[in-house]
Each structure stands twice: as C-alpha cells, then as structure tokens.
C-alpha cells in the first residue's frame, strides 16, 4: 500500500499510525508512479490522533519531533519513507535510536537531516539581499530543502528592526520579518522597486569580488565545493565569471564623493505582494 500525505507533520503522524504494521508500506509526500495492481490512499491529517501519536513519541524520545520537522523539510522525494522507517525503529525499540548508525533507517535519517541543516547553514553566507525603495530587504533563493524560515533568527539578529523577505522561488513561499513579527506567507512572484543606490551596492560587491580573485591561482573544483553552483544564480558577484564559465563583468568604478552610498533601512512595514 502507498500512503500519500501532504507533507505536514500531522498528516505524517496520521499516516504512520495506518502504515506502522505494514512492512511493505510506502509513505510519500510527492508524486509516485503506481505499478499495475498497486493500491494507494491519500491520508488527510487527523489532528486528534496526531496529537496522541506525538505525545507517545515524545515520551520515547524528547527530540524526535525536531528530527521529524527537519526530515519533512527535505527536498528528497523519499523523505516520507525515510521518516517512516526512522520512526518505526523508535517505536520498536521504545527509546531514542539516533546514535545507532549500524541501522539503515537511522543512518538514512541522519544523512537526510544533515543535508537539511547543512544547507540552512550555508545559506547564511550565500543569501544576497537587495534593498527596496521602502528600505526593506529582499532576497530570492531556490534551496533544495524547505529552510527559508530557519534563516529568520540569524538575519533578524544581524539586521535588527530592518524588514526583510526571504523568497523561496522554487516553492512559491516566503519567510518574512516585518521588523516586529516573523511569519511565512505564500509568494509565487514578486515585483520589487529597488532603491536608487542598489545598483551601486551591487557594483561595489562585484568590484570587491574581482579584486580579491587571483586569476593565476584558480581552484575551480575547490571553489565549487565551498560555493555550490546551484546557488550562483542569485549572487550579484557572479562567481561563474571567476570560474570561467561566463565572460567576466567589468565592475563599475567607485562612486564619487557626491554620489556616495547612503543605506536607509527602516522598520517601515513591507508593501503587500502585487495583486494582494
């Protein structure tokens, strides 16, 4: 039996209760091609049963719900099955199992969690904000995993009361800090009116990147290891130019004294998305 669920925690826990004793069960939050004669069911969240299941699992392992949250953030098609196998192992042993790396279910879950947390850590350095005319900051990104809201505490601590939007263009959603509150919102497309100084900031960033690059000491493989290519499309410094994949863009000259840059971030609320 294949159990489809919507990717939420409550739907997973509801599906787990149905699939736990079926050793051939498959849980998936994505699309899956059925073979001839294979049965499937879509499981809707039963919040009351999910709460009871959550309480029981928390008694067995106080940290397992945190693990589940990270597993369900994964962009892997098999995340539902990985979570099922891992939580089945917790239920069978009646205790935490995260240290038992000899078990395939535990090792796969640990690797899945590691990939999610590693990407969230990397994006703290790879996110590039643009300043809007209102003073709010906007950053598009397309992470492999659903991690945008995990970045809010990091950037909130760095930016204070300056509003910002982390736009996950792959999933059509955004993590927003309005200067006072953090929240998630659907956002498929965004039209941003940039500040008058944004082009100058980006030119300075490209000039800095070009100045620290040493063309005679290229380490392209190492560079791509530290800064994966999939993140380059939203970086104004254009790492592909340094790697030789695209022609180098000439950095703009520094601004003159009368055209000095003046950051003007404020805590004014973000304008609503177009059409809302």
Note the pLDDT tens digit of each residue in 24-43.
Answer: 889 998 776 666 667 888 99
Residue 167 domain flag: no
pLDDT of residue 228: 87
Reported as a pLDDT band with limits 50, 70 and 90, residue 116 is very high
pLDDT of residue 211: 85
Cα separation, 74 vs 22, in Å, equals: 24
User: Would the pLDDT of 257 be above 60?
Assistant: no
Count of domains observed in the chain = 2
Cα separation, 155 vs 217, in Å, equals: 33
- Both 202 and 116 in a single domain? no
- Both 106 and 206 in a single domain? no
Residue 181 domain flag: no
Residue 64 domain flag: yes
Percent of the chain with pLDDT over 70: 84
- Both 97 and 11 in a single domain? yes
User: Would the pLDDT of 256 be above 60?
Assistant: no
Q: Is 256 helix (H, G, I), strand (E, B) or coil?
A: coil
User: Would the pLDDT of 245 be above 60?
Assistant: no
Reading phi first (left if > 0) and then psi (alpha if -120 to 50, else beta), residue 145 is in beta
Residue 216 domain flag: yes
Instruction: Give 133-188 pLDDT, tens digit per residue.
Output: 999 999 999 999 999 999 999 999 999 999 999 999 999 999 999 999 999 999 99
Of the candidates 37, 38, 43, 36, the residue with the CA atom closest to the CA atom of residue 20? 43
Tell me which of 45-49, 52-56, 246-250 is least confident.
246-250
Given 120, 140, 172, the domain boundary residue is: 120
Of the candidates 100, 102, 90, the residue with the CA atom closest to the CA atom of residue 65? 90
Beta strands in the chain (DSSP E): 2-4, 26-28, 40-42, 130-131, 137-141, 164-168, 173-177, 182-186
From the centroid of its chain, how far is CA 182?
16
- Both 25 and 115 in a single domain? yes
Of the candidates 71, 69, 66, the residue with the CA atom closest to the CA atom of residue 85? 71
Given 120, 153, 174, the domain boundary residue is: 120
The pTM of the full predicted model, rounded to 2 decimals, is: 0.81
Phi, psi of 194, deg, nearest 5: -80, 155
- Both 113 and 210 in a single domain? no
Residue 106 domain flag: yes
Residue 133 domain flag: no
Residue 246 domain flag: yes
Cα separation, 242 vs 240, in Å, equals: 5
Tell me the residue range of the domain where 205 lies.
198-259
Residue 151 domain flag: no
pLDDT of residue 35: 64
Instruction: Tell whether the torsion through CA atoms of 7, 60, 111 and 227 is positive or negative.
Output: positive
pLDDT of residue 227: 83
- Both 104 and 207 in a single domain? no
Given 101, 120, 139, the domain boundary residue is: 120
Cα separation, 125 vs 119, in Å, equals: 10
- Tokens in use for 72? 């369900």
């Amino acid at each position: 039996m294949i159990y489809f669920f919507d990717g939420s925690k409550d739907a997973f826990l509801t599906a787990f209760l149905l699939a736990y004793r079926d050793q051939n069960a498959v849980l998936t939050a994505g699309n899956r091609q059925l073979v001839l004669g294979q049965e499937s069911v879509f499981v809707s969240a039963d919040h009351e049963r999910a709460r009871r299941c959550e309480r029981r699992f928390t008694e067995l392992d106080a940290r397992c719900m945190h693990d589940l949250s990270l597993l369900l953030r994964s962009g892997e098609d098999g995340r539902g099955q990985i979570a099922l196998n891992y939580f089945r192992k917790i239920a069978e042993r009646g205790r935490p199992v995260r240290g038992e790396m000899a078990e395939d279910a535990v090792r796969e879950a640990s690797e899945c969690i590691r990939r999610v947390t590693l990407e969230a850590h990397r994006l703290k350095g790879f996110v590039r904000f643009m300043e809007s005319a209102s003073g709010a900051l906007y950053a598009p990104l397309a992470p492999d995993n659903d991690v945008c809201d995990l970045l809010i505490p990091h950037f909130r601590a760095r930016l204070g009361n300056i509003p910002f939007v982390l736009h996950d263009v792959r999933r059509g959603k955004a993590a927003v800090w309005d200067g006072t509150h953090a929240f998630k919102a659907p956002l498929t497309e965004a039209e941003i009116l940039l500040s008058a100084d944004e082009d100058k900031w980006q030119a300075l960033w490209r000039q800095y990147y070009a100045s620290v690059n040493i063309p005679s000491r290229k380490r392209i493989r190492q560079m791509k290891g530290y800064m994966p290519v999939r993140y380059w499309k939203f970086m104004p410094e254009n790492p592909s130019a340094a790697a030789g994949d695209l022609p180098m863009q000439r950095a703009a000259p520094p601004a003159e004294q009368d055209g000095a840059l003046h950051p003007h971030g404020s805590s004014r609320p973000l304008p609503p998305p177009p059409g809302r």
